[in-house]
């Protein structure tokens, strides 16, 4: 099985060929324990379902969130490109473009679809 092209739209995830369950970064299907997983691309932006500001381990605050995609899988990630306190539950997110200084290898990074740059929306 060939991996999807880098320039393909959407976020890559895995779907079990046996039961059809979508998942992210798994060796086995979380439902049927099959190892027959196929890589697919998400059809739309993700929606933040949980968001928190974290100060642990770094000098600067950062945002950690859980994002649900239309295919019904959840991804733990960091939201970058905006102040951590401006990420709200229900916000649309997309994969972050380019590289982010200070991010760990393999860390999942997203950015808001509509940029919130100040506290004006509150």
**Number of CB atoms found within 10 A of residue 39's CB:** 12
Is the pLDDT confidence value at 7 over 50? no
Q: What is the pLDDT of residues 19-71, one digit of tens each?
A: 999 999 899 999 999 999 999 999 889 999 999 999 877 778 889 999 999 99
Query: Can you tell me the distance from the alpha carbon of 17 to that of 31, in angstroms, rounded to the nearest whole number?
Result: 12
pTM: 0.77
Structure tokens at 1: 């099985």
Average of per-residue pLDDT values in the chain: 83
Query: Can you tell me the distance from the alpha carbon of 89 to that of 97, in angstroms, rounded to the nearest whole number?
Result: 21
């Amino acid at each position: 099985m060939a991996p999807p092209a880098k320039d393909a739209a959407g976020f890559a995830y895995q779907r079990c060929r046996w039961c059809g369950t979508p998942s992210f970064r798994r060796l086995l299907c979380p439902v049927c324990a099959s190892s027959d997983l196929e890589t697919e691309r998400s059809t739309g932006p993700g929606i933040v379902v949980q968001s928190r500001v974290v100060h642990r381990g770094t000098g600067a605050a950062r945002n950690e969130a859980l994002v649900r995609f239309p295919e019904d899988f959840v991804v733990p990630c960091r939201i970058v490109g905006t102040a951590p306190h401006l990420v709200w539950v229900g916000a649309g997110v997309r994969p972050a473009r380019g590289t982010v200084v200070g991010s760990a290898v393999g860390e999942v990074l997203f950015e808001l679809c509509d940029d919130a740059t100040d506290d004006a929306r509150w």
